[in-house]
Structures are given as structure tokens and as C-alpha cells.
Structure 1
Amino acid sequence: MAQEVKSAAIWLLLLLQSSAIVISERTRDKIYQPIIGASCFRRLNGTHQTGCSSTYSGSVGVLHLINVEADLEFLLSSPPSPPYAPLIPPHLFTRTNLLRLKEAGPRIISVVLLINRPKKMNQFSHELNCPNQYSGLKLDNRTETVTCDVTNVGNTWNPWGTGLLHEDFPFPIYYIADAEEIDKLESCFEKFNNFDYASHALRSLCAVEVKSFMSAAVNSEVCMRRTNFINNLGGSKYCDPLEGRNVYATLYPRNSPENLEANAARRVNANEKFIIVSCRLDTTSMFDGLGLGAMDSLLSLATLTHVAHMLRLLLPTQSTLPDPKRNVLFVAFNGESYDYIGSQRFVYDIEHLAFPTRSTHSTPISFENIEFMLDIGTLDDIRNIKLHTLTATPLAQQLLQKLNQYAKSPRYGFNVNIESNVGYQIPPTSAQSFLRRETKFPALILNAVPGNKYYHSVYDDLDNVAFIYGNTSEDYTILADINDKKYFDADSLQMKVRNVSSIVAMALYETLTGKQYQGNEVASSILADEFFYCYLQSSDCPLFKASSYPNSPAGLPLPPMRYISVLGGSQESSGWTYRLLGFLLSHPEPNVPKENCSQLPLFYFAGLNGTGECRRTTQNFTSALSPAFLIEDYDWRSGQYSTWTESTWSQFSARIFLRPSNVHEITTLSIGIVVFIISFCLIYIISSRWEVLFEDVPASNAALFN
């Protein structure tokens, strides 16, 4: 009987405990409401830390909506119940305002919320006026690049830059894009905060808590030393180097095998000649996981892809070229937003005969193998492009003549103007890594006049490039006729990319064959349509499906993230670009069965109809990790290589709740102390007088007290 009573008591206790947990969960849900958004985070280089961080337990601030500049004065002039969390629309999210909030400090401003109300916004760029200001081409031991004059803002490569991406803030900054979430915040502010400001300190107010604590601090040198410290027994990571993958492919398969043992010295095939056509693969923004880079880098990636595809379909076999050892190497460099990580590593590998890697079983490429480099930079205004070179050379003059021959030809009607620009005023593109090594390197850069007011920000999206998906369901693997204009307007993004890609491809065609292009086929605007849909709207798209293995899992219904990230982070963009270049540059192998099409260079693609086809590919990856993390005892302050790292963190979250007033908190604490003292006194009295209070003890239990 006693055992049954004991079991029943245990079950009752468990039931009460589970009920208490459920009730507490429900109570918590009533107290807090989560807010969905994206957080600013911390990055570090060899000398500084940039970005944002909350306190370890989370930063809390009272909501205050900023509609006009004057609303900031309330927060910065002895507000009644600090700390506050201002809700700021993009047009007021300026460098001046943010630095004023930073100067006020976390005692006054503990959180900043950027809300997606872009109606009054006309520019929004967090990058410097001179992107990669300290890592480009330098002269006379200068610390800053000679290719951009920061003192003349109107003549820089990003005149609208605020530099906020490179500032360090003592509070978290949280971006809320969803309209319902913004309405929730504004409603809470109006209901509890937006009246009788004099009594803020006397009543409960709507507040937000943001958790985004960053583990790293000071700079990359300190952070990496802490991570690699011999006594770090727990294996804690405080930061990781920014690291990704460059994607490259050759127009023709290389016929230069290397069958050497692992320790044997590598030898270059001096007969091989390469024309490098390159662009930037990545983009960045202040907030984690956001930033499509539609204008700042995706236009150049689209152009490179279309040039590769057009040349693949137009050119004869390599053996019939005037120089059968000539090839084109297409490269999309990753991490260029952070001091040219990808191109610096590419140059480093070529210097050390480490590109391509031994695993490709091909001979290494040296600088002597490179005939010239055509780097495709930002194409803000595709109708007005400049060909930049450090010095005037016959090579540059010849290429400019070829480009303009097709750009201004009435037969094609491209209506594109390409001018020459000679001198040190060259754009911040991957070519600077090559020119920094050797100023005589034959680098030519195609770049438009700056016009992107949303460079490196969350608003450089499909609206910024006026993209509208045509969804033609037509064959995008074939070239288009020059007179075929039935699907897109002349001013559409698809047609602009078609035009500039065709011009570049025609000029390279003439360079490779020695013959002027006379055909009517041009780059496909339908391919451009599908390309931008995949990269700007959804990875679950026809082009990505065709570039994958048959019946592969579909991509996410979101555009691929194009931030370089860290080892183990998302590499969606490089992965999809790898497959896409492989598919568009590959040659069909109809006689190879599926079971024998599993090892590179053979790859089994789903193809246009999704049934599957074996093709011979040339694409591959190469590491985009800065040499600074490979060189032993590297001088982190030398500025020779990129030193960017990213802090680790445990979570990003935000939630709103009613924060009690100071009077309420003091009253609650005082009552608790009084109750504690009274309880302590009662317990003392009871324990010291128990024989008086409990003198009528039943005889049957008297033995228990003896």
C-alpha cells in the first residue's frame, strides 16, 4: 500500500511539473513576440574590427520611431527612460545620423532597427567612396591605392558611399524587411510609447531585445592568435578567415597533361597561351545573408557567362585556329569585396606554380602563358563603357577598335559607346591584384561610369536593375538572331546584357580567328532572362535544374547567397556558377553511357529537357583563401594581402516585450526583500519555538521526535 501511495505521489509530482512547464511556456509566449529580420555582424582585418555586436546576454532598448531628423534630437537630448532602440527608415540611415547615435553610446542607444520603408530613399550605399581603398595598386610606399582619389568624392568609384560597412558600432543593428513585422513594431510603439513622454520613466514601455553577441574583438591578428592558442583546450573558435572558391573554366579542353609524383617539381608548358576573361563573383552588405549585388557584380557575371556561351557555339575547333595552342580562361573571382581575396590568391598560386592544382593532372599556368587579361568590372550604365588601361599599348588600341567596330555597327544596332581611359584612375576590379604585382601586366578593364547608388547594400536588387522575368519557356541554349526582338524591349536588362556580351564575344572571336565576325547570331536574351531569374529570384529555376544532375533536389525558392562567407559556410553562388559554366561550355559526348559519365571532365547534366546527357566539361574550383593565412609569421599590418576574418556567434534573434518602469522594478524588488525578511523571521521563530507550537503531538508519532 505504501509503495502504491509513493508511486502515485511521484506521478502527481511529474504531472504538476509538466503542467508548470506548459504554463511557463505559454506565459513566455504572451510576454515576448519574436521579430524576424537580419543582423549586422562583426568582421575584422589586420588593424581594425568593423560591424556590430550586442552584449553577451542581449541588448534591450525602448522603441522609438524616427520619421524626421528632429525625432533624433529627442533621443540625443537626455531622454527620460534610456536606453532606446530607434526605428530608422533608409533615408535617415545616414553616416551623420549613425555616428551621432554611436557617439551617444550604449547607455543612451542600445539597439538600432533599420526598417524597410524605402519610399523616400534615393541612395543607400554602405561601402567606402573608394572600395578596397587600401589594397589596390599602390605607388611610392603609399598606404592607399593610387587608383582612386578619396579627397575628391565626386570623382571616386562610389560617390554615394557612407563607409558604414567599415565602422565599428557598440550596439547591434537589426534590419527588418517584412511589412507585417514593421507594422507590429510601429503598433507597439504607438500603443505604449508614443504619448506623454514625460512619464516614460513611470510606466511600462514597448522595448526590443536583440541577441547578436560577437566572439571576436580587436583585429584578425588577435582573434586568430586566441583561436590557435595552445591552451585553447575547448577548441573554441573566435573568428574564421573569409574563404570561398573561385570558379574557372577554359573555352577548349586543355591538352597538357601532367603525370608527376606528388613531390616532383612542376613544369610549365611554354607553348600554351591564354586570354583571361574575368569578373567578380561575390557581393556584400552590412547584414547577414542579405545582398544580391544585382548591379555591382551580377551584371558582369552575366556578361562573362554569355560571352563564354557565345564563343563556345561560334568558334571552330581549337586545332583550326591560327594559333592552335591559344585558349580562353574564364574566371569568376570570389571575395573581391574584401581586398581582392580571390584574385590575390589566384596571383599567388600562379607565382608558385600552384594553379591549377595537381589534382587536375594538368600542367601549371605561369604569367608567361597569359597573353592578356580582359576584366569585366561594374556595368552600371551598359550603354556607356570605358576600356581602362594603365598605359596606352597597341594591344589596348587594337581591342578598343574591335569592340567599337561591333558596338557602333548599324548592322547590329547595339548602340553602345566604348571609350578609352588611360592612366591610374582604374576601377576597383580583380585586375588590380595583377597590376599590383607587375604594372606592365597586360590588363584591360571594361567598366561603366559609376551610377549605382545602392552599391554593396540590401537594396541592390532586381528593382535596382529593373528586371522583370519574361518566362518565355524557349530554348536558351542556342544563340539568337540579331533581328529577334519579340520577347523583350530594347531597354530591358535582358537586351542590354545581350548587346554588351555580343560585342565582347565578337571582338574575342576576331582576336582568336583573325577574321571579322560576319554572322547574324548574337548572345541569347532568353538565356539572360533565365540567368537573372535564378540569381535574383529563385534557385529553383530551369537553368539551374538543367545544369545539375538529373532528378537532383531542387534549389531553394530564394536567390543564392553571394557573400563569400567562411569555411563551412554557404557556397551557393560558387556552386551554381560552377555547374552553369560547366553546362554552357561543355561538349556533348553522346556515345558515353550514363554509368561511365561520373568522373571529371565528364559530367552527366540534366540538360534542357531534363532527361540527362553526358558532356565533357572544363570547369573547376580554385581556393579563394587569402595568402595571409598561409604564410607563416605573416605581418598582419603590412597590407600586402587581405586579412579579413568573420567573428563567430551563437545566435541572431530579436523580440519585443513590455519593459517595466524603473519605479515598477524598484517596487517589485523592495516587496521581494520585505517578503524575504518576513519569511526568514517566521522560519526562525517557528524553528526556535517548535516545541511550543507543536506540543500536542500524537502518541503514535512521539517517537519520531525523540
Structure 2
Amino acid sequence: MALVSKNIVTLLYMIVILINSSDSERLHKQIYSSIEGGAACFRRLNGTKQAGCSSSNKGTVGVVQMVHNLEDAQWIAYNGTAGPYMAVVSTAIFHDVIEVLMSHSGHVAGILLFANATIRANGFTQDSQCPNGYASGPGSQCLSGNGGIVWNEAGTDLLRRDIPFPIFFLPESKIDEIEKIEDCYKRYNLERKQNGQPLCSLQMNSFMYAAVNSVVCLRRSATTALLTPTKVCDPLGDNNVYYSLFPRGKETNTTKKPVILTTARIDTASLFDGLSPGAASSVVGMVTLITAAATLAQTISAANAHLYRRNVLWALFNGETFDYIGSQRVAYDISRKAWPPNAPLSETDIPLHLEIGQLGGSLLKNKDTDTWPLYAFVPENSEIRELFLQQMSSNIEAYNMTLQPIFSTNLPPSSLHSFRRILQNATTSGMIREVLLTDHNEKFTNLFYNSALDDYEKIGFVYRNISIGNDGTFVSTDELVANGSMKTSDIQVKIANLASALARTLYEQVSEAQYTGNVSASAHLVDEMLYCFLKSQACRLLLAADYAQSGSREDNLPEIPAPLYVGVAAWSTTAPVFAGHLLALLTGTHLQQNRTQCDALSDPDYSYYWLRGWNNSGVCIQTTMNFSQAVSPAFMIPDYDFTSGEYSTWTESVWQAMWARVFVSASGNGAQFAAILGAFTTVLAAFFTFWLHKHSAVVFDNAPTALVNNDAASGILRTVNC
């Protein structure tokens, strides 16, 4: 009998376990609904502080409150009774309400920010009014927060502030998730008297391991590395890209040519992980540089290098958003005669530094006209700069554009600041002359600077999808305009014309003669590059410039734009690789070598890359393009003082998971009832157990003597194996 009872109990126990295991996941899904497609705000740190967002260790929970205007935000701050609240906010009003929510963070659990296609933001930038203000060179007059001159007038500085709650962002494509939350809100949360009611709630998890500042998190990482493999932060950094018109590897001090250093930035940033489109902030400038380099390479053959006294060195800097990481490293290495690694330059080798700054903010404004007003910032006038400006103005006016010189040491944010600080003697003395090209004068024309909304729509880009020849031939701009495929007001045409004017000006600087040829940049090439960087990595241009592997890799390139955030130094990102490979593909020599032969080639003047090529079968590229580290000198110098402000000290926190979910939280009355019911059930069970023990002889037939023993001395309720 005892054995049978024991088997029955075991069987019942197993049935309960099986039911629980099969239903637990279903029950979880009934309680929680995941918010898909969101991007979380994360934490970065520098030598003196932490910036960005973090949730609590197990996620932060708050009651949903739809914020449609400033009054809704003020209600959360001053009148909400069931908080803390999760504010669901459109990007159109984010700048209007963020300061109210930040200043009353005790009532705010977090923010779910969403982009709405029907209500667009007029401006959206989380950088400061004076971007990289603490890394500015001598002569800068930007006075953020003091009523002075500012470049980024709409800046909130959230990129560099410690935000006391998590923020998640949902793009326009995920508006159905917002509708799901709003339905939940309307069902449970519309009443302002919310105490004691079941309420629609959100939970956000974006816990960051790093805290305080870069010094603390790096010390913690070094300490824990001895015990566990877990790091809490990494230095920001990646790679710079450089390419020279003529090879420089075999140059000596007597044969070395002065170089015109022509630069632009690769990176941009936003508050949110994986969302950094950078259309006007960086992409237009980068595409202009690559297109101009390809055009100049068609104009002057590297084989004729001996005919020219000057060279052109093109460089794309990475990490510029965070105190000019890439350009600081290059200027620092030049001061030590260590860049480029294969043929280092000194300050005396650079008669002119031309920076292609922020372009694109005014393209949408001028989309219906042929004009594109541009500006050239010049710190001090000099003969070589005056000649360059004359040549550039003449070439650019041929394309119905204007270039207005601005002579001032108050330069907009650009890599010139790194050179003016680190190589100050060379720049202030006029040894290195400087020119900065932009599309703005006193204030940015880009109202979405360094944000998740700085996308292709903000520059008015419409992809034309024109076929590329099997040998990489692009249709000329003149032919595209003549056959109606493009108009002279299209941004592709304007960027191609600017690249043509720049290439011709550099030709005249190198050759010391006026350009009389007819080579010009192709708006078709610009169209493809903009599509690749702003809409989809799975494009023909990047496929051709990708590393050639065995088998097809088309499915491995995602149909989303490559994030342009610099990332951490421990991992390479795709943006500089794509930019470098495009330079190699478009300017290099295509050799008739197989993969094995290509890998075996070695020459101090060149690098060799095996890329997919235009027919996807692989091609050996001989190029002067190469990569160099874009990691701040602060992480190289022994015992560097991270509070000095001399070099960038930015790091990024490590995190484990980021997710958000919506659910209905129980009311206070329900919790009280559950507590009372639990207490009552416990008392009832104790009474019933006592009663069974006292009357066991009546309840159970043939009960063992031990069970009915009323030996009070033991004081123990005895148990028996049945």
C-alpha cells in the first residue's frame, strides 16, 4: 500500500512539472510583449565623467505615459501619482520636453523615443552647441551656454551628459510597436487617478557595466582581467584611411615631394546603438573626397610622378565626433615623424592642409535650384592659400556654384583643430596652411547633426539605380543630364561637380599649370556611393570592393546602411574598410594575377588587396591606400593624465543585453488582496494540519501508532512513510 501511494505521488509530481514546463513560456508571452526593433542609449565615459544612459541591473520598470506636448511632460514631473513613468515621446517634441524630464528624474523611469512619419522633427541633434569644444584649437570663439557664438544652435549636449534613466529609440519602420503600446495605454492608463489600478507598464533593460569615468573603468577592467575575462569598458577607436596620388614608400629626404593633405571624416554618432547614418554630418564629405580622388587619379597617372614636384595625400579620419580621435592620432604621429608608417611626414612636408568639412545640410534647402553656396574658412591669408582659393573659386563657378572665403581663426568643428593644437608652431607660423570647405557660415545648416535622424531624406537623396558596366564603367554626368536620367539640381550632380572642381584645383596645385582636359567626376558614381553608405550595404559598389572569398558573400552584406559610429579599438568596423577598399578599387591598378600570386606580391610603394571586383570573380589591386590606427594618444602614453584634456579619453561601456517589453502591472488593491488571501490560507492550512493530527485515528483506518501518539513531550508533528 505504501509503495502504491508513493508511486502515485511521484506520478502526480511529474505531471505537474510537465504542465508547468509546457505552459510557462506561453504564460510569459501572455504577460509580456516584447518591443522589437528598438535601439538603446548606451554609456560612454571620458577622463572626468560618464555620459549616456543605463538601466538598473535587472531592468527599469515604469508606468506608460504618452507625451504629446509639454503639458504631458509637466504632468509627469509635478502631478503624476503612480510613477515613476515611462514617457513615450515623439522625436518632434523631444527637444521641448527633455529638460523637464531630466530635471525631475525621480518621477521618470525612462523614455521610449519614436520617429513618426506624420509628425517630423524640425531639428534633432544631441551634440553640443559647440561640438568638441574642449578640443578646439587656438582662436576658437564658440561659447556654448554663455550666450556667445555657437555652431550647432539646436544642440542639447546629450551625447556628453549623464542621463539618469534609460532611453530606447524606435524608427519609423517600427511604428506598429508604438501603436501596440498606445492601445495598452488607452485601455488602462487614460484616467489621471491611477492609484490602486492595473496599469500599462514598460520595462527597459540596458544595464551598463562601466561607471564614473574612463580612469575608473579601465582600472576595473585591468583588475578583473586577473580574476575573470570580463572587461567593463574599451577605448573608442578604429582605423584611419589614407591614399597618395603618387607612391611614397621609396622616397628619401632628397627625393621627398611636399604633399597637399586633403582630409575628411568618416564617422558620426548618435545616442543610440547601431543608429548613426551621418548623411549631412559626414557621408557627403566622405563621398566628395573619394570621388575627387578617383577623378584626379584619372587625370594624372602615377607612372608620371617624376614629372611633378608635389603629391596629394588623401586621408579619412575616424572618431572625429569624440574630440577628434583620428586626426589627433595623425597629428601626434606627425609630430613624432611616425605617420604614415611606411613613409613618415614632418610638418615641413605639408604646405597645405585642405579639409572637406561638413557638407550636405543645405542640399535639401537648395534641391530645386542649380546653386549650392559653399564657404572656405581660412585662418590667415597667405600666398599659397590665396592661389588655392582663386583656383578653386574659378573651377567651382564653372559649375554654377559659389565659394565665399571667410578669413578667421574661429573655425567650425573639423580636424584642423587637432593640427592647430598639436602642431601649433607649424600652423600658426604658416608652415602648414589651412583651408576648410563647408556648406555653412556662422551656424550649421544641418539641423540633425550627429543624430539618428541625419539620414538620406535630410539631404534629399533619391537613388537612380543606373546599371554599372561589367568593367566598372560609370555613365558621365553630362550624359546623365543630357538623357534626362538626372537634373542639374540633383544632389548627385552637385556633389560630382564639387568633386570635379576640387580634382581640377588639386591638379593645378600639383602640376603648376591650368587644367585643359575634360575628365570630370561621374554623378552615377556618386549615386551608387550615397546608396551604399545611406541605404544598403548590399550594393554593387561595395560588393565589388569587398574582400573576395570562396563562394558568394552577397547574402552576408545586410540591406541596411553601415553604422558610421567609430566603435571600440578592439573591434574593426565596416565603414573605414569600405571607404578604403573603394579608394583602392577606384584609384588602384588592376593586375592580372591570381589569388596566390597577389598575396605573394610585396613592394614598399604599394599594398595589394584581393577584392571581388566588378565580375565577382576576384581581382588583384595594386594601391597606395592603407590603414593606420585611429586610437587616441592618451591610451599610448605611459602614465598619461586623463584629466589634462590634451587628448581624447573616450571609452565605451560593456553591456550584456538590451531589450524592452510592455505588460500590465497589477493594481495596489490586487496586491493587498493577494497578501490577505495568502495569510488566511496559511492560517487555514495550519489549523487543518493540526486537526488532522488530532483526529488521525478517526480519519485514517489502521493508522500507525506513531501517528496517533499524543506524546506532548516531543512537541513535534510526526511524519510517517505511507
TM-score after normalising by structure 1: 0.89
**In the alignment, does 2:517 pair up with 1:533?**
no
**1:46 alignment partner, SS class:** coil
Contact 1:479 1:522 in 2 (8 A): no
**1:229 alignment partner, SS class:** helix
Identify the residue that residue 579 of structure 2 maps to in structure 1.
577
Contact 1:268 1:364 in 2 (8 A): no
- Give CA deviations for 1:581-637 in whole Å, capped at 9, x if unaligned: 1111211223x3343112562223332233433221222211111111111221111
C-alpha distance 11-160 of structure 1, shift in aligned 2 (>3 A):
same
| Alpha-carbon separation, structure 2, partners of 1:552 and 1:319 | 38
Contact 1:322 1:512 in 2 (8 A): no
Identify the residue that residue 35 of structure 1 maps to in structure 2.
35
C-alpha distance 3-552 of structure 1, shift in aligned 2 (>3 A):
farther
Decide which of 281, 291, 296 is 1:296's aligned counterpart: 281
C-alpha distance 279-320 of structure 1, shift in aligned 2 (>3 A):
closer
Decide which of 487, 510, 520 is 1:522's aligned counterpart: 520
C-alpha distance 271-83 of structure 1, shift in aligned 2 (>3 A):
same
**1:463 alignment partner, SS class:** helix
C-alpha distance 191-689 of structure 1, shift in aligned 2 (>3 A):
same
Identify the residue that residue 541 of structure 2 maps to in structure 1.
543
Identify the residue that residue 260 of structure 1 maps to in structure 2.
none
The structural deviation recorded for 1:519 is 2.2
Name the aligned partner's letter for residue 386 of structure 2. Q
**In the alignment, does 2:183 pair up with 1:187?**
yes
Identify the residue that residue 264 of structure 1 maps to in structure 2.
none
Contact 1:153 1:159 in 2 (8 A): no
Identify the residue that residue 644 of structure 1 maps to in structure 2.
650
Decide which of 373, 382, 389 is 2:378's aligned counterpart: 389
Identify the residue that residue 67 of structure 2 maps to in structure 1.
66
The structural deviation recorded for 1:138 is 3.5
Contact 2:329 2:632 in 1 (8 A): yes
In the alignment, structure 2 segments of 5+ residues that lack a partner are 364-371, 602-606, 709-718
Task: Choose 238-247 or 276-285, whichever is displaced more.
Answer: 238-247
Identify the residue that residue 711 of structure 2 maps to in structure 1.
none
C-alpha distance 478-105 of structure 1, shift in aligned 2 (>3 A):
closer
C-alpha distance 556-599 of structure 1, shift in aligned 2 (>3 A):
farther
**In the alignment, does 2:438 pair up with 1:457?**
no
Contact 2:696 2:703 in 1 (8 A): no
| Alpha-carbon separation, structure 2, partners of 1:598 and 1:671 | 76
Residues 613-628 of structure 1: pairs in structure 2 closer than 5 A: 613-628=619-634
Identify the residue that residue 283 of structure 1 maps to in structure 2.
268
Name the aligned partner's letter for residue 429 of structure 1. S
Identify the residue that residue 659 of structure 1 maps to in structure 2.
665
Identify the residue that residue 226 of structure 1 maps to in structure 2.
220
Contact 1:544 1:576 in 2 (8 A): yes
Residues 29-108 of structure 1: pairs in structure 2 closer than 5 A: 29-36=29-36, 37-94=38-95, 97-106=97-106, 108=107
Task: Choose 363-372 or 18-27, whichever is displaced more.
Answer: 363-372
Task: Choose 154-163 or 29-38, whichever is displaced more.
Answer: 154-163
- Give CA deviations for 1:431-483 in whole Å, capped at 9, x if unaligned: 11111121333222111212011111111101001111100114464572646
Identify the residue that residue 200 of structure 2 maps to in structure 1.
206
Contact 1:269 1:363 in 2 (8 A): no
Task: Choose 480-489 or 434-443, whichever is displaced more.
Answer: 480-489
Residues 154-169 of structure 1: pairs in structure 2 closer than 5 A: 155-169=149-163
Identity, % of aligned pairs? Answer: 33
The structural deviation recorded for 1:490 is 1.4
The structural deviation recorded for 1:545 is 1.1
Identify the residue that residue 614 of structure 2 maps to in structure 1.
608
Contact 1:477 1:527 in 2 (8 A): no
The structural deviation recorded for 1:112 is 0.9
Residues 68-467 of structure 1: pairs in structure 2 closer than 5 A: 68-94=69-95, 97-106=97-106, 108-117=107-116, 119-138=119-138, 146-150=140-144, 155-177=149-171, 178-194=174-190, 196-198=191-193, 200-229=194-223, 233-256=227-250, 271-319=256-304, 322-323=307-308, 326-357=310-341, 362-379=342-359, 380-381=361-362, 383-409=372-398, 414-437=399-422, 438=424, 439-440=427-428, 441-449=432-440, 450-467=444-461
| Alpha-carbon separation, structure 2, partners of 1:7 and 1:570 | 60
Contact 1:247 1:622 in 2 (8 A): yes
Contact 2:141 2:149 in 1 (8 A): no
| Alpha-carbon separation, structure 2, partners of 1:2 and 1:104 | 65
Contact 2:693 2:707 in 1 (8 A): no
Contact 1:270 1:369 in 2 (8 A): no
Contact 2:238 2:630 in 1 (8 A): yes
| Alpha-carbon separation, structure 2, partners of 1:548 and 1:101 | 45
The structural deviation recorded for 1:270 is 6.6
**1:622 alignment partner, SS class:** strand
**In the alignment, does 2:489 pair up with 1:491?**
yes
C-alpha distance 64-429 of structure 1, shift in aligned 2 (>3 A):
same
Contact 1:58 1:209 in 2 (8 A): yes
C-alpha distance 105-351 of structure 1, shift in aligned 2 (>3 A):
same
| Alpha-carbon separation, structure 1, partners of 2:572 and 2:409 | 36
| Alpha-carbon separation, structure 2, partners of 1:232 and 1:204 | 48
| Alpha-carbon separation, structure 2, partners of 1:6 and 1:503 | 91
| Alpha-carbon separation, structure 2, partners of 1:418 and 1:624 | 31
**2:291 alignment partner, SS class:** helix
TM-score after normalising by structure 2: 0.88
Contact 1:147 1:427 in 2 (8 A): no
Contact 2:239 2:572 in 1 (8 A): no
Name the aligned partner's letter for residue 397 of structure 1. E
- Give CA deviations for 1:326-358 in whole Å, capped at 9, x if unaligned: 32221111100000001111122222333234x
**1:602 alignment partner, SS class:** strand
C-alpha distance 385-191 of structure 1, shift in aligned 2 (>3 A):
same
The structural deviation recorded for 1:526 is 0.4
Contact 2:362 2:459 in 1 (8 A): no
Name the aligned partner's letter for residue 23 of structure 1. D
**In the alignment, does 2:569 pair up with 1:567?**
yes
Number of aligned pairs?
677
Task: Choose 315-324 or 395-404, whichever is displaced more.
Answer: 315-324
Contact 1:479 1:523 in 2 (8 A): no
Name the aligned partner's letter for residue 329 of structure 1. L
| Alpha-carbon separation, structure 1, partners of 2:489 and 2:148 | 27
The structural deviation recorded for 1:572 is 1.4
C-alpha distance 445-666 of structure 1, shift in aligned 2 (>3 A):
same
Task: Choose 512-521 or 575-584, whichever is displaced more.
Answer: 512-521
- Give CA deviations for 1:303-342 in whole Å, capped at 9, x if unaligned: 0000110011111345455435x32221111100000001
| Alpha-carbon separation, structure 2, partners of 1:461 and 1:453 | 12
The structural deviation recorded for 1:364 is 2.6
Name the aligned partner's letter for residue 518 of structure 1. T
Task: Choose 294-303 or 598-607, whichever is displaced more.
Answer: 598-607
Task: Choose 79-88 or 155-164, whichever is displaced more.
Answer: 155-164
| Alpha-carbon separation, structure 2, partners of 1:323 and 1:74 | 70
Contact 2:208 2:655 in 1 (8 A): yes
| Alpha-carbon separation, structure 2, partners of 1:665 and 1:26 | 23
C-alpha distance 568-467 of structure 1, shift in aligned 2 (>3 A):
same
Identify the residue that residue 685 of structure 2 maps to in structure 1.
679
| Alpha-carbon separation, structure 1, partners of 2:533 and 2:678 | 58
